[in-house]
Amino acid sequence: MVSTPVPPINHFALFGLPEQYAVDLEALDAAYRTVQVQVHPDRFASAGAAERRAAMQWATQANEAYQTLRSPLRRLVYLLQLRDVDVEAESNTAMPPAFLMQQMEWREALDDAQAARDFGAIDALLDDVRTLRDTLLDQASVALDSADHAQAARLARQLMFIDKFEADIGHAYERLES
């Protein structure tokens, strides 16, 4: 595997997993460990420069593939890319009005909770955000399974907003704890 440069390989194929949204995370973890053992650069420390470089490329691809498949949002976007669907995250920011209203309410609630140093309110907000995230991920899985790629892409864009807001909540915790 390592003696040749890294060909472009499907992340699912690299780990011997079916190309679908639902991933057996234990099987992914086991396959990742197996690939890592095979391509770890330390195994090629005494090899020639080309073989060491190929091992590093394989290890890098394995790491990227693993991180992509472990993340539900990244996995969704990757599956859409495999189906030649552009999520248009940068160019298409149109969102349903109810979703945008929810975002504004969440942002206001986060600002209020931070100002009041109310960790309970932030915890409750995070629970709400995660509940919606899980619902949208389930809907995206159904959309992918039914080949409704436009809907899956719309949901991916919404999930990107939620992902960013979850990170903002994490930053709020950090600010309040410091």
Residues 146-162 have pLDDT tens digits of 999 999 999 999 999 99
What are the Cα distances from residue 97, in Å, to 86, 104, 121, 138? 22, 11, 25, 21
> pLDDT tens digits for 63-114?
999 999 999 999 999 999 999 999 987 777 788 999 999 999 999 999 999 9
Query: Which residues lie closer than 8 Å to 64 by C-beta, 6 or more apart?
Result: 11
The pLDDT of residue 41 is above 90 = no
Indicate the class that CATH gives domain 97-177. Answer: mainly alpha
CB distance 19 to 12 below 8 Å:
yes
Mutual angle of helices 72-82 and 119-145, in 10-degree steps: 20
| Chain-centroid distance, C-alpha 9 | 18
For the chain, give every domain's residue range: 11-70, 97-177
Q: Which two tokens stand for residue 94?
A: 């149109």
Mean pLDDT over 43-68 rounds to: 85
Query: Which residues lie closer than 8 Å to 7 by C-beta, 6 or more apart?
Result: none
Place 56 in a pLDDT band, splitting at 50, 70 and 90. Answer: confident
Whole-model pTM? 0.85
Domain 11-70 fold: Helix Hairpins (1.10.287)
DSSP assignment letter at 43: G
